[in-house]
Amino acid sequence: MQIDHLPEIYLLAMKATIEATEVILPVYEQVIEPEMKSDGSPVTKADLASSKVISNILEQTGIPILGEELEKAEYAVRSQWKENWCVDPLDGTKMFLLKNDEFSINIAHVVDGEAIFGIISSPIQREMIIGGEGFGAFFVRFSDMDSPEKW
């Protein structure tokens, strides 16, 4: 797969994943003091920093973002969206806290209620699986992003 076959918005999503990794990993190396959300689940500085990085990059697409750590738009507004990004900036916060390497960054592009593109990324392995309607699924090492001919 060559880089010129991917729509620009998906390259931005991949960039967001890589940049989010750069804010997650330093926190992972520290003693982590989570806060508790209203539903009783933990949230860390890494969740919030990753969310901020990803949303700042994806905002460039002009597509609304629905994110676990972002303020939610009212249902009346969301129900009018033709498309949106669905983001979990650090999926597996409990595993992150246990430092067992089993957490991910997840991003999906949803159109008319169906995911047409997605990324599942492992910050620890510095790898991602991307897939989308019309171009298949691919395994990408972060190091290959500088050399897309390796894809």
68 marked ligand binding residue: yes
3-state secondary structure of 30: coil
How many angstroms separate the CA atoms of 1 and 27, rounded? 33
Q: Sign of dihedral through CA atoms 80, 83, 89, 94?
A: positive
Q: Which residues pair with 91 in a beta bridge?
A: 104
Strand partners, 141: 127
39 is in an annotated binding site: no
> Residue 91 annotated as binding?
yes
For 126, other C-beta atoms within 10 Å of its C-beta total 15
Binding residues for Mg(2+): 68, 88, 90-91
Binding residues: 68, 88, 90-91
